[in-house]
Structure 1
Amino acid sequence: MRMKTSDENLAKAAAAGDADAFATLLARHYDRVFRLAFRLTGRADQAEDLTQDICAALPSKIVGFRAEARFTTWLYRVVVNAAEDARRRATRHTRAAHGWGDVEQMRRAEVQETAEAVDWLQRAMRSLPQDLQDTLALTLEDEMTHAEAAEVLGVSEGTVSWRMSDIRKRLRALRQEELAQ
């Protein structure tokens, strides 16, 4: 009896909660939905996923069927909309993945740049006289103030300030010399 019932009548019954009517519609149109999904996606695995998503969402969507067009026309629109939504999600995901890729590349470049700067500074520090190395080691990255470093080194705060000025000059000159090569 259900096989002779029109799609539109089955859809109305399914919208009213008739599970048998819904099952009949699904049995009639599953292959059609899959074929359209395959044509829209171009891949069987994506078409299968899309068809399953549509079948899962169809019970709530069928309530919106108003029988203003044939059921198959309405169903095709549901499939096309689902495919467009899937493409948008994939595009957003791809953009987000690329964005994270860019962020990760920038982060790695920054880490690399920092590592290179630290390596250069360590090499440059080894080229300084020992008293300047000690002063720089204590004051580097604001570890200690000039007054605190002076106390540790047993010199005046003015001496630490002078040494820091001398260190900056020497490092600048070393960097210029390296860049000129």
Structure 2
Amino acid sequence: MNEATPDLIEKAALGDRDAFSRLVEHEYDFVFKVAWKWTRNRTDAEDIAQEVCLRLAQSISRFKGSGRFRTWLYSLVLNVVRDAARKASREKRRVEEWSRDMAPESDDEDGTGELWQAVQTLPNKQKDAVLLVYGEGMSHSQASEVLGVAEATISWHLHEARKRLKQIMTSEVAYG
């Protein structure tokens, strides 16, 4: 598919919603394909494409037309890909650190089997917060939306869950 016309891009940049909608429709496949090439994961590529559309809405007015639109759009996609990779890396490290901090020395591969069994014994709100943030890799903000509570509430539930899990895991090691 060819690049969007300069007229369509200009109208979208000036705030024409219909033009912006047509622009997104025209460029979505390009955005998705670039995201897929970098992630090799359909779900991640779809998430990235959606984020690119949001960022495009916020930044299209800054496109000056001095270069090719696709080049500018490509750099926008790569920025979102890099942001997603950094976020995934942070989330993975956080989950690994959390699992390491919470898991006792054990005979299972890395101690996380017992940890996740212990998570099942938590009060429902704490268990939900742990499973969404550490099990599903959601941010505190995303988990707060899913559970319909404030982000600070998620943080508090996680804090309380950590304390309770340390007690559970310590008593299992002591009495196991």
* Interval containing the TM-score (normalised by the shorter chain): 0.5 to 0.7
Distance 1:6 1:58, change over 3 A: closer
Contact 2:4 2:27 in 1 (8 A): no
Which one has a larger percent helix, Structure 1 or Structure 2?
1
* 1:82 matched to 2:80: yes
Aligned amino acid, residue 95 of structure 1: R
Structure 1 segment 126-165 matched on structure 2, within 5 A: none
| Map of 2:69 onto structure 1 | 71
* Alpha-carbon distance in structure 2 between the residues aligned to 1:88 and 1:20: 34
Deviation string, structure 1 residues 42-98 (Cα, Å, up to 9, x no partner):
011111111112112221121221222110000000101000000000000001111
Answer whether contact 2:12 2:20 (CA < 8 A) is retained. Answer: yes
Amino acid at match of 1:24: R
* Residue aligning to 2:91: 93
Instruction: Return the alpha-carbon distance in structure 2 between the equivalents of residues 40 and 15 of structure 1.
Output: 27
Quote the residue 1:45 is aligned against.
43
RMSD: 2.5
Question: Residue 98 and residue 46 in structure 1: after superposition, are their counterparts in 2 closer, same or farther (change >3 A)?
Answer: same
Deviates further, 6-15 or 96-105? 6-15
Figure out how many residues of one structure are paired with residues of the other and give that number.
113
Cα deviation 1:90-111 (Å, max 9, x = unaligned): 0000011111011102547644
Q: Any unmatched runs of 5+ in structure 2? A: 105-165
Structure 1: runs of 5 or more not aligned: 120-181
After TM superposition, the score normalised by the length of structure 1 is 0.55
Q: 1:8 aligns with which of 3, 6, 9?
A: 6
